[in-house]
Amino acid sequence: MWYVIKINVIEIRVFAKTNAIKSSVVSFTDSSMIIALNARAKDGEANKELIKFLSHHIGIPKSSIMLIHGDRCRYKKLSIPLNDVTKKFIHQ
């Protein structure tokens, strides 16, 4: 699964494709959510864009999304709070 539900959070696994024309969800695999990002993979720009994109896409504040692993690679693990909005997002 591209996500794991824990006690109060959901951990999401993302494969980030940088330098895209537009940030968007490309597809889902068994192991990750593939997201194209309109940002360079330099100086944390892609990580900021990823958090901003997920915040708007899911409908939660940017401050509630934490990058757990992958700040310098394309494979990332993020943590989001477990609530009705995020449950709806993972089950779409």
Residue with tokens 């992958």: 70
Residue 63 has φ and ψ, to the nearest 5°, of -65, -15
For residues 3-9, give the mean pLDDT. Answer: 92
Q: Which domain holds residue 73?
A: 3-90
**pLDDT attached to residue 33:** 95
Identify the bridge partners of residue 27 per DSSP, sorted by sequence position.
34
**pLDDT attached to residue 87:** 87
- List helix spans (H) across the chain: 45-58, 84-90
Per-residue pLDDT tens digits for 19-77? 999 999 999 999 999 999 999 999 999 999 999 999 999 999 999 999 999 999 999 99
CATH of the domain at 24: 3.30.1200.10
Q: Which two tokens stand for residue 25?
A: 């969800």
Give Dmax over CA atoms of the chain in angstroms.
Answer: 37
Task: Please state the separation of Cα 82 from the chain's center in Å.
Answer: 14
3-class DSSP assignment, residue 65 = coil
How many domains does one find in the chain?
1
